[in-house]
Structure formats: structure tokens, C-alpha cells
Structure 1
Amino acid sequence: MTVSTDETVTSATAANVLDELKWRNLLANSTDEAELRKAFGAGPVTYYIGFDPTGPSLHIGHLVQVLTMRRLQEAGHRPLALVGGATGLIGDPRPSSERVLNSPETVANWVERLRGQIEPFLDFTGPNAATMVNNLDWTSGLGAIEFLRDVGKHFRVGKMLAKDAVSARLNSEAGISYTEFSYQILQSMDFLELNKRHGCTLQLGGSDQWGNLTAGLDLIHRVRPEQNVHCLATPLITKADGSKFGKSEGGAVWLDPEMTSPYAFFQFWLNAEDAKIADYLRVFTFRSAAEIDELAAAPAHTRSAQRALAHDMTALVHGDLAATRVEDASKALFGGGDVAGLDPRTLSDALGELPKVTLARGEHLVADLLVATGLAKSKSDARRTLNDGGASVNNVKVTDGDAATVSTADLVHDRWILLRKGRRSLAAVELAGE
């Protein structure tokens, strides 16, 4: 995918990529913007972003960094994507409590899973080909004495204590272990080693990582003072009320389709707030200024901007076919298509997001199903709804409140019944058993 062009924002080039990041509200802080701009213009710049495998999947908050990495590569710069097999064994200190230490085998498995999620976003061919790196490569053989003498001596405890997460933990009952306190040194080593091994001169990360970013820069200044290195931070993305972006009612929105289905992923973006939709389109999509302005100006009730965002993000993460399937499912559930024509996995994922009951296979009154799924308060309420033409089964209106039934012959994919009351109240019935 390439960045679109228009009168306001041209295709990002090596020299003007900072302007592209600014326009997309992706530049929260940098160590020396004027010098960094010169470096980009003289490019290509080798840069890196680190991801710690503290879980089996990235979530959509990580997409800010993944997509920023891609934007810089499209501008002609060279990315190093680091998945931290070493730092993942430790974990960046949280302000609240100590992390649970996972086994080396678990972390190694998560390293491979995260690599597999990041790689499709980058180009591994050509003059600015991406490289995947793992900090376990330069830490696994490092002895304690060597670590303390060659690296630890360059860090001042007072400065390390000033980090927000560290100070918060020191002032709590939980305290902080030396293990997590040392995380900042390990991450700083990454920048130094990548500078030595790959000529990396720029580290990117979220603004909440600024202390860790600049600690790596300071280490290089002490060990290799001739190097001209930089840090750049992207802002934390928030909802309109200022709360953290990236969670649904069920928790984090994951990139792994087994943890967050493509349908649920699509619905998350489809439900984006009107007040933030233009911001999300700039940060997460590769659409041009003209396209985003047009979408943001569309009447809110059309949900045009949200549909474009949901399509773009689902296609980026799960592929064009998955995006088409979940769009078809979204339309079909609300009467805009044939439920039976959906593929079984997509239908199952979509219905899994609805109120659902599981009943024995056989014949059931539709009125009873409306009550069982909570679409009707009572059987008499269900009958009235049906007699008034206010309910449907598999997108077919049902009007006989006293006698209307469903059986195994009505099942979609021999498993499901879709119920609707009114225009937007939906529920699913699964008939299981022999």
C-alpha cells in the first residue's frame, strides 16, 4: 500500500516524512527536530521500534508503532523491528504492580507469534529492506560482571529513579524489584547494539516510553560520542473523554484472529466515536487529506467514515477477503443480505457477538425464543411483537405469534437461528445435540 496524494499532503519522501507524521498527529516529541529533519533529508535513516512479547499477541495500541514504522519505510528509510526475547523475560515496570515472569519457552513462542504479526506490514526486499532483530542475541551470552562494568557504570541511579513508573512503584506498598528496575538498562543496550551492528541512529516509541528512549540515547552519547542519534515519540491515542484507546467491553482488541475475531475487530472500528473519527483516520489509515476530509464531513448518521476506517483496518490486519466477509456479515445481520450465504466461521464469529442461547435440537415456538434470548420480556410481549410484524427469523418476517415455530430445517449452516426485534435488536439461537 502506498500513501495517497493530494494538494495538502504529498507522498511521504525521505525529506518530508516529519511533515507527514505531524499532519497525522503522530509526533509527540523528538530530541532535536531540526537535526532529525536534516538526517531524514540526507537519509536513508536506519531506525528501530521495540516490541516486548509479554503476551501472545499485539493489540491495536501497538498498531500506532507498527504503522509508523511502515510510513517511514515507505518514505525511503530502513526499519529494524525488534521483538525482545530478552526484555520480554523481564517486562517494562508498570506503575501498579510487579509483572509475572513467564518461562523462557513461553516468551520464545510469543516472540515468533509477534514476529509473524509484524512482518506483513514491512517490506523485506530492496535497498531499504526491513530486518527483524531479537535482543536475546546480544544479551544471552552477557556475563553479570561484564554487564555491570561495561553497561551499568554509565547509568545514574538518581535519573533512573525519576522515571514515572519507577517512582510510582517506590511510593507504593508493592515496591519494585531490581529485575524490573534494570529494564531501562536492557532497553538502552538495544539502541547501542543496533547502532553498532546496523548503523541505527533513530529509536521510536510511544510517549509513555520517553524515559527509556532517551536513556538509550544517553548511553550511546557516553559510549560512542561521535554518533549523531535521535529519539522520536508518538502520542498515546485516546478516546474523546481522554481515556485510553484500544479496549472493547471484552478487554483489549487483539491482532490475533483467535483472540479477537475479524468480525469483532471490524465492529470495534465501526463503533468509533464521531468526535474522534478524523483523528483515527489520520493515525491508522493511509488515506489522503482530501479523502479524510470528505469522510469526516459526511453526515454522522451515514457512518461513512466509520465504515471506511473499519474496512481499512480489517483489510490491513486480516486481509481483503476477511474484510469483505465481515462487511457482508454486518450487512446480513441487519437485513441487508443473505445470512445463509455467509461462510460458517464468519457467521459464527458475528453471532458470537450477540446475546445467545443454546437449546436442544427440535421444534421451538418463535415466541419462546424471543423470551429466551431477552428480546421479549414475556411470552405475551413476544406474541404481540410477532403479530405486529416486529420480529424476523433469519431476516424473514414472522407474524403468527401463537403458532410460528422453527426447527432444524430452519437452521443456518445446520446450527444457527438469527432473531431480530425491530430494526437493531438482535440475538442468536444455537440448536445443539443430536
Structure 2
Amino acid sequence: MGSFVILDNYDWWKDITLLDFLKEVGRFARVGTMIAKESVKKRLASEDGMSYTEFTYQLLQGYDFLYMFKNMGVNVQIGGSDQWGNITAGTELIRKILQVEGAHGLTFPLLLKSDGTKFGKTEEGAIWLSSNMLSPYKFYQYFFAVPDVDVIRFMKILTFLSLDEIQELEESMTKPGYVPNTVQKRLAEEVTRFVHGEEGLAEALKATGALRPGAQTQLDSQTIEGIADDVPSCSLAYDQVLKSSLVDLAVSTGLLASKSAVRRLIKQGGLYLNNMRIDSEDKLIEEGDIVDGKVLLLSAGKKNKMVVRIS
């Protein structure tokens, strides 16, 4: 990789006053042109509208391009397609203020989900590439949960599989006997391996297999602790847990909202303790249920989990 420089635009903004900005930049901006930009039109038409700060942001980004073009020889700005208006604001300012040509913009399509929202954004936050921000297990789970309508497109964009192999996978989804999420599993494996390596993928697969309700894999405290940052967790004293009712524990830990909800889930076969299905609402927590004397794993269905640390 060649050399690169990370800049903080505050270094050149800190000495510019509002009056300076209006004089040097604002007089070259045409409101009609700013409003005509697609990103602005969409925001103005939305229910929330657009603040003055957001509206003028294109001039701020545009001036950043002008400053780096003039002082550092930067002549290309690259960004997602949603940045086109901001990028062209910069090329226009360079042409009008510096009266030169040679500033260029390059955009690439945003990776969107089928519902039109940006890929990589969830209710819990961003899908981080760093394992310090998001564990390989959680990363893997995100791709494993991709809807059928998106999975083939993501295969083509995010993996290095051949188009022929991807076509075979797509065709397999329509054949009798197709096991749901088989293609998602392949997508999750390919992307997790690329980002986190074989070791990260192995970690994700181990946790996924061990933490699947009903799995026969023997749970240990290290595996449970490995996902504790990715699922809700709580801490309880040993004597609060031992011999306590599982129904009460599921409510007190916040796994479910009420005892009636717990009992209903037990009747439906959806409550698990350390991946073992619980069939009786009279179940009490025994010493052998506390994994390595440290933790419990409660599961309501396949996705809702609660790690209970024992102190």
C-alpha cells in the first residue's frame, strides 16, 4: 500500500469566521443549484425535512475539496453515490473560485438492502469489521440472517465466488428439499473468513453450533462468556440462583416479561436452559445446571438469549 495522510479539516476551519465563509464561499453558491441536488430534494420532501445545518453541509464539504485541491494537489474525491451532491459542490467551487479545471468526482453505488436501507446498519448499531467492536460470532450471525431476497446479490458483491458457483447456489434455493438458510450459511462463512480469517470463522462456527438451542454440543463457560458482549447479560449471586424457580429466573433476568409468558413458552417448547429444552414449569436450578460454576445460558426461542453470570 502506498503512503497516505489522514487530515483533520478543523486545521483549516478553525481560523475561518462565518463572515469570511460567506464572503469567500457563500457568494459563489446558488441556492437553486443547491436545492436541485437529488439528496437535498429527497430530504426536503421527507417528513422530517432538512435543517439549515444539513443544507449547508455540501458547501463545507465542497470547501474541504477546494482547500485540498489548492494546497495539497488532491484532484479526485471518491464516495458513495449519496455523496454526489457534496462532491460536485466541491468541483463547482474549485471552478468558480480558483477558475481552473481538473477537479473530478468518483462515486460508487451504495450497498442497499431490499427495503432500501443502507447495508451494515442495524437497530443495535453498525456492522464493524474490527473484532474489538463486533465479535466474529455476531458478525457471522448478521450475514446468516440476510433475507433470501438479498443473499444472492450480496454473494456477488461481497465474496470471491465465481458467478457460475453463485448461480448454482441460486438455483438450489428453488429446488425441492432445499434447507432454509443454506446459502446464507455459505455467505456468512465466506465473508467472515475474508474479514476475520480462518481462526475467526472457526470461533464463530463453534459459538453458533454450541449456542443453538437443542444443540448437542457440550457448553463450557468460555464459550458462553465469548458471546456475553453480544447478547443481554446480568449478574446474580450464587444463592439467588441455586434452587430458584426457572420461571422466576427468566422474568427477573429480563429474558421474558411475565411468568405467564414463560409458562406459555414452556408449553410451546421454546424455553431452553443451557440449550436443553425445558418441559416443566416446576424446574428448579440445580448445582449441575451452573456451567463450570460460573454461568447460565437462558434462551427464549432461537434468537433471544440471556447470559447469567454467577457471583
Deviation at residue 186 of structure 1 after TM alignment:
1.5
Q: What residue in structure 2 maps to residue 206 of structure 1?
A: 80
How has the CA–CA distance of structure 1 residues 358 and 238 changed in structure 2, closer, same or farther, with 3 Å as cutoff?
farther
Q: 1:33-53 CA distances to partner (integer Å, 9 max, x unpaired)?
A: xxxxxxxxxxxxxxxxxxxxx
Q: Which AA in structure 2 matches 1:253?
A: A
Report the RMSD for the aligned CA atoms in angstroms: 4.3
Q: What residue in structure 1 maps to residue 69 of structure 2?
A: 195
Q: Tell which has more relative contact order, 1 or 2 (C-alpha 8 A, sep 6+).
A: 1
Does the 8 A contact of 1:278 with 1:292 survive in 2?
A: yes
The 1-side partners of 2:268 and 2:162 are apart by 51
Q: What residue in structure 1 maps to residue 226 of structure 2?
A: 346
After superposition, residues 39-188 of structure 1 pair within 5 angstroms as 123=1, 128-144=2-18, 146-163=20-37, 166=40, 168-169=43-44, 176-177=51-52, 179-188=53-62
The 1-side partners of 2:268 and 2:33 are apart by 70
The 1-side partners of 2:94 and 2:265 are apart by 72
After superposition, residues 288-299 of structure 1 pair within 5 angstroms as 288-299=162-173
SS in 2 for 1:417: strand
- The answer as to 2:291 corresponding to 1:418 is no
Deviation at residue 331 of structure 1 after TM alignment:
1.0
Does the 8 A contact of 1:325 with 1:342 survive in 2?
A: no
Deviation at residue 188 of structure 1 after TM alignment:
0.9
Identical aligned residues as a percent? 30
Equivalent in 316, 329, 342 of residue 207 of structure 2: 329
Structure 1 residues not aligned, in runs of 5+ = 1-122
Deviation at residue 278 of structure 1 after TM alignment:
1.8
SS in 2 for 1:132: coil
Equivalent in 310, 328, 331 of residue 188 of structure 2: 310
- The answer as to 2:154 corresponding to 1:274 is no
How has the CA–CA distance of structure 1 residues 415 and 350 changed in structure 2, closer, same or farther, with 3 Å as cutoff?
farther
Deviation at residue 351 of structure 1 after TM alignment:
4.6
The 2-side partners of 1:222 and 1:206 are apart by 24
Q: Which AA in structure 2 matches 1:187?
A: Q
Does the 8 A contact of 1:166 with 1:176 survive in 2?
A: no
How has the CA–CA distance of structure 1 residues 254 and 420 changed in structure 2, closer, same or farther, with 3 Å as cutoff?
closer
Does the 8 A contact of 2:79 with 2:108 survive in 1?
A: yes
Deviation at residue 330 of structure 1 after TM alignment:
1.1
Does the 8 A contact of 1:357 with 1:428 survive in 2?
A: no
Q: Which AA in structure 2 matches 1:275?
A: V
The 1-side partners of 2:184 and 2:261 are apart by 33
Deviation at residue 362 of structure 1 after TM alignment:
1.1
Equivalent in 261, 281, 286 of residue 407 of structure 1: 286
Equivalent in 231, 254, 271 of residue 105 of structure 2: 231
- The answer as to 2:241 corresponding to 1:361 is yes
Structure 2 residues not aligned, in runs of 5+ = none
Equivalent in 213, 234, 253 of residue 126 of structure 2: 253
Q: 1:292-314 CA distances to partner (integer Å, 9 max, x unpaired)?
A: 44444444525343223334444
TM-score relative to the length of structure 1: 0.54
Q: What residue in structure 2 maps to residue 6 of structure 1?
A: none
Aligned length: 297
The 2-side partners of 1:269 and 1:246 are apart by 10
Comparing 215-224 with 236-245, greater Cα deviation is found at 236-245
Deviation at residue 417 of structure 1 after TM alignment:
2.5
SS in 2 for 1:233: strand
SS in 2 for 1:348: coil
